[in-house]
Amino acid sequence: MFREMGDKLGEAITTSTMGSLHYLQGRLVEAVSQHEKSLEIRLALRNKRLIANSNNSIGLALQAQDQWANALAKYEAVLEVYRAFHNRHGEAIALCNIGNVHRSRGKWTEALAEQQTSLDISSKRGFRHTESVARQNIGEILSWQGK
């Protein structure tokens, strides 16, 4: 419907929502496909914030498929956009995601550094949910290391 009306933003949002539904249903390949379609539209719109959202969603689906390098590349692109726009909350979330990829790859030092940076930002800015996620992630990393 949005496509027929020429509403690119509506089409991008709908396509992204379809990707999220696939993700929640465990259909990860379909999720990536839908989010990549949304990303293409958002690239054409040149909206960096929406591009970052698409890349984050793609990163989550890739990470769930153990495609660590590809997920990391998406999260790093997201981090770059959030930093450019001074979006500290988005930055903290992206750092948690990057830390989780490092943790999954057994790169404990890098994982802890990313989670700690996320925790520092979140604590300072009052992002309580993200702060608690970073604290939990740090605890899990230390536990897996036997500390």
Q: How far apart are CA 71 and CA 88, in angstroms?
A: 21
Q: How far apart are CA 100 and CA 114, in angstroms?
A: 9
Q: What is the pLDDT of residues 11-44, one digit of tens each?
A: 788 889 999 999 999 999 999 999 999 999 999 9
pTM over cut 0.85: yes
Q: Is 88 exposed, middle or buried (0-12, 13-18, 19+ CB in 10 A)?
A: middle
Q: What is the mean pLDDT of each run of 10 residues along the chain (147 residues)?
A: 64 88 95 94 91 95 96 97 96 97 95 98 97 96 85
